[in-house]
Amino acid sequence: MNTSSTSISVVIPTLNRCTTLPRALDSVLQQTQLPDEIIVVDNGSEDGTISMLKTNYPTVVIISATKRGVSAARNRGIAIAKGTWIALLDSDDAWYPSKLEKQVKLFQKQPGYRLIHTDEIWYRCGRRINQMKKHQKRGGDIFKDSLALCCISPSSALINKNLFKEVGIFDEDLPACEDYDLWLRITMREEVLYVDEPLTIKHGGHQDQLSNKYWGMDRYRIKALEGILKQKQISKDQKIATQEMLVRKLKILIKGAIKRNNLEIIKLYSSKLESWGNIMPHHKQFNSPRF
């Protein structure tokens, strides 16, 4: 694998995760197929992360960045990466030792794909939990699957760097759901490969998770969907499916705002709902809610 045409760069963004980052790094260093470089982009940590890295992981490329969010950190790492493939890993997650090797072997059997992801195991607050049926992963044409929720974990993704040149990088204006947005831009254009084995370990439940930090996550999914509808490459069927999901998420967000009596959100997103609902196909039009 260590050739100029198939080299792998691992990109790990981090912020004040000195306690979990070693677990992520150790899982990379224990790979049966070692990457060509490991890049840690520190997003302004104040917990001794840089010192720990320099002392315990001298071979890691360390990039110190200002605190601008996970998207900016990932983008910084992708930009300087020397590999032709980018393996993303969040600093609170980890890999099983054969993760990269099995992704590479699958690609070698089915060349031409540019994104390969894996199944995953979930832990919340240290306890293993079962995934719901809606979170089931697969490969192939998964654009419509990707509309409802984020169906690829960043920590499981191995991505050909050329793909970023075509679809763009992570949207730094999205404080959350930035991965949802990127997967839509990718799956709109091409199919993906999937290793049907739980090779990625996701750890959740801690307070600094983006899903805990931001309320109303559908606000960012709505923005992403509106962006997808502006893409020139979108097909007619994809456009209809995207509009349907956009209207559905608008209604969910408005319903939540009504419960919280958030008049500003109700007004803003009701206007969007009326606009998008009116351009739906006639047999699938949605009426704006009455308040």
* Position with higher pLDDT, 9 vs 261: 9
Same domain, 198 and 226: no
**Distance from C-alpha of 179 to C-alpha of 265, rounded to nearest angstrom:** 24
All residues at 6 or more sequence positions from 1 whose CB lies less than 8 Å from its CB, including other chains: 7, 8, 33, 100, 104
- pLDDT band for position 286 (50/70/90)? very low
Same domain, 157 and 99: yes
DSSP structure class, residue 232: T
Same domain, 118 and 231: no
The total number of residues shown for the chain amounts to 291
* Domain assignment of residue 253, given as a range: 218-284
Q: Which helix (H) or strand (E) holds 225?
A: helix 218-228
pLDDT at 85 over 90: yes
pLDDT at 210 over 80: no
CATH number where 46 lies: 3.90.550.10
What per-residue confidence (pLDDT) applies to 290? Answer: 47
* 197 within 8 A of 110, measured Cβ to Cβ: no
Structure tokens given for 157:
């993704």
**Distance from C-alpha of 229 to C-alpha of 244, rounded to nearest angstrom:** 11
- pLDDT band for position 2 (50/70/90)? very low
What percentage of the chain carries pLDDT values higher than 90? 75
**Distance from C-alpha of 141 to C-alpha of 125, rounded to nearest angstrom:** 33
In 3D space, the residue among 257, 138, 243 whose CA is nearest the CA of residue 191 turns out to be: 138
Same domain, 53 and 188: yes
CA torsion sign, 182 to 185 to 188 to 192? negative
Same domain, 183 and 246: no
Task: Pick the last residue of a domain from 213, 239, 265.
Answer: 213
Same domain, 116 and 192: yes
Same domain, 140 and 15: yes
pLDDT at 144 over 80: yes
Same domain, 21 and 105: yes
The whole-number average pLDDT for the span 261-285 is 77
| DSSP letters for 110-173 | STT--EEEEEEEEEETTEEEPPPGGG----BS-HHHHHHS--S-GGG-EEEHHHHHHH----TT
- Phi/psi of residue 34, each to 5°? -70, 145
Same domain, 243 and 174: no
Q: Give domain status of residue 53, yes or no.
A: yes
Q: Give domain status of residue 228, yes or no.
A: yes
Same domain, 201 and 254: no
In 3D space, the residue among 86, 56, 271, 53 whose CA is nearest the CA of residue 64 turns out to be: 53
Q: Which helix (H) or strand (E) holds 42?
A: strand 37-42
Residue with tokens 């691992």: 10
Q: Tens of pLDDT along 224-269? A: 999 999 999 999 999 999 999 999 999 999 998 999 899 989 999 8
Same domain, 225 and 191: no
Q: Give domain status of residue 2, yes or no.
A: no
Same domain, 270 and 140: no
* Mean pLDDT over the full length of the chain: 90
